[in-house]
Chain A
Amino acid sequence: MATPIVSAVRTSRRPGPQPGAAPPATKVAFQGMGFSYGSRRALKDVNLEVPERRVTAIIGPSGCGKSTLIKSINRIAEIAADIKVDGQVKIDGEDVYAPGLDLVDLRRRVGMLFQKPNPFPKSIFENVAFGPRIHGLNDRAGLEGVVERSLRQAALWDEVRDRLSSSALDLSGGQQQRLCLARVLAVDPEVILMDEPCSALDPISTARIEELIDELRDRYTVVIVTHNMQQAARVSDRTAFLLNGELVEVGGTETIFTAPSDRRTEDYITGRFG
């Protein structure tokens, strides 16, 4: 059943799982989770385990609830809307919807990269320093250290080291997205959510971001939503397929793309719909 799409999986640079290695712990767990915007149900009975320090991709057709799924992890979905959540979303065993949970701390630990790069209209330095500043780091030397470290991690340091005080809006689209990544990394998160981070970028920038995702995997748990199946095949270890708000199937990326167990998954992957 190998299709041209699927052969992308075989050419990825990742090493396969080591034989005999212990399976990774679960970082984020959805347990019987349902999500509604007002009266409209966006997610139904989702049971999903996201392993720690791996890249998990969420795929599915438009409107299936992918964005809602990850926005419910850092609770960004509830900012401008009236929402209702059933079930639980747990990080390291703690339900993030428990009453009294510190939202500020949650959002520091779970960072997010948005579909369209959205740097603040400030300087490059101030963009990256924004996170550390609001969390209490105010001395210049400390900030400079964090900014340099984050920009290096985002593979942007060499390009901007001489113009840290220039406006972030002068950067190209791909650079802006890497800046946003640096901004997220500056607060030292544990989980990084990415909502179709490359959909607004050109192929070269996309490739660079995918390289970065590969490097981030050693330290962070990455959950990436993408409508680009080749991308999911290239970067992720596990893939989950969402359809109409339901989790249809989840498994190792290679398995999902070569031998999916659900008919609907197969239809989506082979392009019969979506």
Chain B
Amino acid sequence: MKRRVIETLALAGLRGITACVLLAILLMLGSIAVGGASTITWEFLASEPVEGMTAGGIFPAIFGTLCITLLMILMALPLGVCAAISMVEYAGQSRLARVIRASVNNLAGVPSIVFGLFGVGFFILFIGRSIDRVRGEGLLFGQPAMLWAAATLAVLVLPVIIVSTAEALNAVPRSHREAALALGATRWQTVSRVVLPQARAGILTGSILSISRGAGETAPILFTGCAYFLPRLPVVDLQIPFTSLSVPMVNPLDQFMELSYHIFIMATQSTDAAVTRPIQYGTTLVLVGLTFALNVGAIILRSRYRSRHGTP
């Protein structure tokens, strides 16, 4: 009898704790939604901040976030997918594969501010300044810029891409590889024509998750390229050679505004916190909405893919 009581209490406790955790999540997201809902208007999303951030919109921050995550994924995706292919298809069970796997796991556990240090010490000061030294024309690459911030974020999300790609590759049944090799396909032909097409959805899921991660990380970009207020967007008019036409292009050597950075600075360092509070909530809601949408999209994609091909 006493055992039954203990069991009931214990199971109820487990249920209760889980419910509390879910409630806490709801409370947190709810407070942000409630605080920021009234601020979200089309103008808010599309206009620039004015009067020292106490009014206006956050368009430059949204634009900057899109730019940086795009640049980041352009750098990280090819590297990560190739690394995963090399790890899964070519290295197999060798010691090299184990070292790579250990490195990936360790990379995943590095604190985000350490990436920031790395971004400053390696990308800006080492690589950037070296490029400037070779150019001999003064400081251009050796200072905070979108390029270096994107590179720093790329190193941070590399493990996400490698792990999700490796998972997707491993989900492809071995019999398909055997059949292809038995027909005389080379390893690369097997990977590119049989394995990769089947792993496409998993790779896409990993990309979306890493974009969400990149949009939300602040510490790596604190010193590698972000700014609180910029008078103009990081866009430059590129002249098409041999014509008099110019096309606006994102300038990766410029600094940029970014959503998470904006929230951080506004919440901790703005001069009039009470006035800017609604904007803080609004910006936070936009960021949460963005990452939420990306994560939900990735989860839906993954479950649809799993139901079509069977759970790996």
A residues at B contact (CB < 8 Å): 74, 76, 79-80, 104-108, 111-112, 114, 116, 118, 120-122, 130-131, 133-135, 180, 183-184, 187
Contact = CB atoms under 8 A, between A and B. Distances in A.
Interface of B: 92, 173-186, 189, 193-194, 197-198, 309
A121 B184 CA distance: 18
Given A114-B175, A116-B175, A120-B194, A130 B180 contact: yes
Contact of A135 (B177, B178, B184, B197): B184
A220 to B, nearest CB: 15
A79 B184 CA distance: 13
A169 to B, nearest CB: 10
Given A107-B184, A111-B182, A80 B175 contact: no
A234 B122 CA distance: 72
Nearest to A104: B184
B177 A108 contact: no
Contact of A120 (B174, B179, B181): B179
Contacts of B182: 74, 76, 107, 111-112, 114, 184
A136 to B, nearest CB: 11
B92 A130 contact: no
Nearest to B173: A118
Contacts of B186: 104, 134
Contact of A76 (B176, B178, B189, B197): B178
A130 B193 contact: yes
B218 to A, nearest CB: 42
- Decide if the interface of chain B is mainly helix, strand, loop or mixed: helix
A130 B183 contact: yes
B179 A107 contact: no
- By CB atoms of chain B within 10 A, which of A76, A108, A133, A134 has the most? A134
Contacts of A106: 184
22 contacts: A74-B182, A76-B182, A79-B177, A79-B178, A79-B181, A104-B184, A104-B186, A107-B185, A111-B183, A112-B182, A114-B179, A114-B182, A118-B178, A120-B176, A120-B179, A121-B176, A131-B183, A131-B184, A133-B193, A134-B189, A183-B179, A187-B184
B179 A134 contact: no
Contacts of B178: 76, 79, 114, 118
Nearest to B94: A82
Contacts of A183: 179, 183
A116 B178 CA distance: 12
A118 B179 contact: yes
Contact of B183 (A79, A108, A116, A122): A108
Given A80-B92, A120-B194, A121-B198, A134 B175 contact: no
Contacts of A104: 184-186
Contact of A80 (B174, B176, B180, B183): B174
A205 to B, nearest CB: 19
A104 B180 CA distance: 11
A186 to B, nearest CB: 8
Nearest to B194: A120
Nearest to B192: A134
A89 B184 CA distance: 18
A134 B176 CA distance: 15
Contacts of A122: 197
Contacts of B92: 80
Given A112-B179, A133-B193, 16 more contacts: A79-B178, A105-B184, A107-B184, A108-B184, A111-B182, A111-B183, A116-B175, A118-B173, A118-B179, A121-B176, A121-B309, A130-B185, A130-B193, A134-B185, A134-B193, A187-B184
A76 B184 CA distance: 10
A-B CB proximity, top 10 nearest: A108-B184, A118-B175, A107-B184, A112-B182, A131-B183, A118-B179, A134-B185, A134-B189, A104-B184, A76-B182
